[in-house]
Amino acid sequence: MDTTLVRQQAHGPRPADVPRILTRPLALVFVTAFGAMATFYLLLPVVPVYAAEAARREAVGLSGGAAAGLSTGAMMLATVLLEPAVPALMRRYGNRPVVAAGLALLGAPALLLATTPSLAVVLGACLARGAGLAILVVAGTAITAALVPPSRRGEAMGIYGLVVGVPGVLFLPLGLWVAGQLGDAPVFAAGGAIALLAIAAVPGMPRRTGHVAGHEPAPRPATGPAGPPAAASPTGGLGRPAVAFAAVTLAAGVIATFLPLAVPARLHGVVALGLLAQSLLTPAARWAAGRLEARVRPGRMLAPALVSSALGIGLLAAAGSPAAVVTGSALFGLGFGLAQHASLLLMLDAVPREDYDRASALWNLAYDGGMGVGAVGFGLVAGTLGYPAGFALAAGVLLLALLPIRSLARRQGPR
């Protein structure tokens, strides 16, 4: 059936009346989101090596590997700790000052790294950048969702997934290449400049999240003065989609951290190909899910996302096979992208417009917290059981996550 006709039947307006997605304020939000993720991914593989070199140079009693892990851990710790506070900051100060502060926290410490190769400075910069990342991932999702009408929110979030996903494909390898050819300082300077230049887009963004784009906040169901709790909503509330998504991000943390260690050295080129397939398919699947949202509700996407992710990481148990590594990584990337879109839409559907920032904070907390727990927990399991058993166990966790979300597809049904 034609997508336009389906949308017309579901939402009422004629094709000529379908509201636009890409308005000027939303384009400026995309500029800040792209700038934030570009500087994040550009520095992501470079800073740990920089920290390891600083530890060896200063003889601080840390091994290079420990210092490298500490740099990434400090950044993610700051991200997870600040994400729950971002909605309150947005409500108190408004979108513009908060987003500008996030970009400054990502950019200014990067410039400092270019001039001060001290381990203490590196770790302090990682903490500050983690705080900036927390602000921008929460604010970007919430503002994007609020800037579009509900009838096209799925498509808009699919596009947003591309905006924040493409920098990982482009800038993650670019940072490593530039550092190898020109040294670390140009990477840090470029990363800092990208984030700080993106601040120029902030004045055109909406001041507040709750009342933008000419749309009133979605009313709460009339079952009392404050409406029912989110958990009672038709979408199953915030908890079940967040738990299911955290299971997928747990597996993502496992793959990103341990796949290069699990694969024999002779197949490291295959690992790069597999991770490239995953990084390409994740944003592509997220965008495609947004396009399909007119016909397939997000509650019906989440179970296939979990199954695809489980199959993917399950195949990685055969890490000695090039076909298993590439196919498994690709299947996981497909499931990861679908899970990002479906879980986020379910959580946004569960709250009124003025609470989008809180739903975004919980979704991003599931994202970053799941990746951290996955990396740490898998390290403990793999040390005892080995990598193949660890990958198989992660696949089992994903399949178990199907249980709390099994009613979502039945409740939502087709579009």
Residues 33 and 74 occupy one common structural domain:
yes
- Distance between CA atoms of residues 255 and 324, nearest Å: 13
pLDDT at position 136: 96
- Distance between CA atoms of residues 72 and 412, nearest Å: 39
Confidence class for position 262, pLDDT limits 50, 70, 90: confident
Structural domain includes residue 1:
no
pLDDT at position 77: 87
- Distance between CA atoms of residues 326 and 95, nearest Å: 41
pLDDT at position 112: 94
Q: What is the pLDDT of residues 203-237, one digit of tens each?
A: 999 988 654 444 444 443 333 333 333 443 433 47
Share of the chain above pLDDT 70, in %: 86
Residues 174 and 269 occupy one common structural domain:
no
- Distance between CA atoms of residues 199 and 187, nearest Å: 19
What single-letter DSSP state applies at residue 219?
Answer: P
Structural domain includes residue 352:
yes
Residue 79 or residue 212, greater confidence: 79
Q: Identify the domain boundary among 208, 242, 269.
A: 208
Confidence class for position 51, pLDDT limits 50, 70, 90: confident
Q: What is the pLDDT of residues 128-143, one digit of tens each?
A: 999 999 999 999 999 9
Q: Per-residue pLDDT averaged across 399-413, rounded?
A: 71
Query: Which segment of 4-8, 24-28, 66-70, 359-363 scores lowest on mean pLDDT?
Result: 4-8
pLDDT at position 200: 97
Residues 49 and 189 occupy one common structural domain:
yes
What single-letter DSSP state applies at residue 341?
Answer: H
Confidence class for position 399, pLDDT limits 50, 70, 90: very high
Is the per-residue pLDDT at 391 higher than 80? Answer: yes
pLDDT at position 55: 85
Render 224-290 in DSSP notation, one character per residue: STT---GGGSTT-TTHHHHHHHHHHHHHHHHHHHHHHHHS-GGGHHHHHHHHHHHHHHHHHHHHHHH
Is the per-residue pLDDT at 337 higher than 60? Answer: yes
Residues 200 and 73 occupy one common structural domain:
yes
The single-letter code of the amino acid at 279 is S
Q: Which residue has the tokens 């009124």?
A: 352
pLDDT at position 292: 78
Residues 245 and 300 occupy one common structural domain:
yes
Residues 83 and 170 occupy one common structural domain:
yes
Structural domain includes residue 356:
yes
Residue 143 or residue 153, greater confidence: 143
267 within 8 A of 325, measured Cβ to Cβ? yes
Structural domain includes residue 215:
no
Q: Per-residue pLDDT averaged across 264-280, rounded?
A: 84
Is the per-residue pLDDT at 411 higher than 70? Answer: no
Is the per-residue pLDDT at 9 higher than 50? Answer: no
Give me the number of domains the chain comprises.
2
395: which 2 tokens? 């696949």
pLDDT at position 122: 92
Residue 134 or residue 289, greater confidence: 134
pLDDT at position 72: 79
- Distance between CA atoms of residues 412 and 142, nearest Å: 23
Residues 163 and 241 occupy one common structural domain:
no
Structural domain includes residue 220:
no
Residues 191 and 52 occupy one common structural domain:
yes
Confidence class for position 38, pLDDT limits 50, 70, 90: very high
Cα Rg of the chain (Å, integer): 21
Nearest of 401, 370, 363, 310 to residue 161 by alpha carbon: 363
Residues 64 and 148 occupy one common structural domain:
yes
CA angle, 259 then 264 then 267, to 5°: 85
Confidence class for position 18, pLDDT limits 50, 70, 90: low
Is the per-residue pLDDT at 245 higher than 90? Answer: yes
The single-letter code of the amino acid at 73 is G
pLDDT at position 19: 67
What CATH number does the domain containing 396 carry?
1.20.1250.20
Confidence class for position 378, pLDDT limits 50, 70, 90: confident
Give the SS3 label for residue 204. Answer: helix
pLDDT at position 214: 43
Render 49-117 in DSSP notation, one character per residue: HHHHHHHHHHT-S--HHHHHHHHHHHHHHHHHHHGGGHHHHHHHH-HHHHHHHHHHHHHHHHHHHTT--
Render 24-55 in DSSP notation, one character per residue: HHHHHHHHHHHHHHHHHHHHTTHHHHHHHHHH
Nearest of 25, 410, 371 to residue 215 by alpha carbon: 25
Highest mean pLDDT among 162-171, 188-197, 202-211: 188-197
Q: First and final CA of the chain: distance in angstroms?
A: 12
Q: Per-residue pLDDT averaged across 309-335, rounded?
A: 93
* Mean pLDDT, rounded, of the chain: 83
Torsion angle in degrees (nearest 10) through CA of 102, 108, 110, 113: -140
Render 348-399 in DSSP notation, one character per residue: HHTS-GGGHHHHHHHHHHHHHHHHHHHHHHHHHHHHHH-HHHHHHHHHHHHH
Give just the sign of the alpha carbon dihedral 217, 202, 30, 16: positive
- Distance between CA atoms of residues 163 and 160, nearest Å: 5
Confidence class for position 17, pLDDT limits 50, 70, 90: low
Structural domain includes residue 16:
no
Q: Which residue has the tokens 């879109």?
A: 341
For the chain, how many residues are written? 415
Structural domain includes residue 94:
yes
Is the per-residue pLDDT at 406 higher than 60? Answer: yes
Residues 285 and 373 occupy one common structural domain:
yes
Residue 38 or residue 114, greater confidence: 38
Residue 58 or residue 130, greater confidence: 130
Structural domain includes residue 50:
yes
| Per-residue CA distances from 7 to 207, 218, 291, 294 (Å) | 30, 20, 11, 6
pTM reported for the whole predicted model: 0.76
Residues 132 and 262 occupy one common structural domain:
no
What range defines the domain where residue 99 resides? Answer: 23-208
142 within 8 A of 15, measured Cβ to Cβ? no
Residues 120 and 49 occupy one common structural domain:
yes
- Distance between CA atoms of residues 406 and 415, nearest Å: 18
- Distance between CA atoms of residues 315 and 323, nearest Å: 9
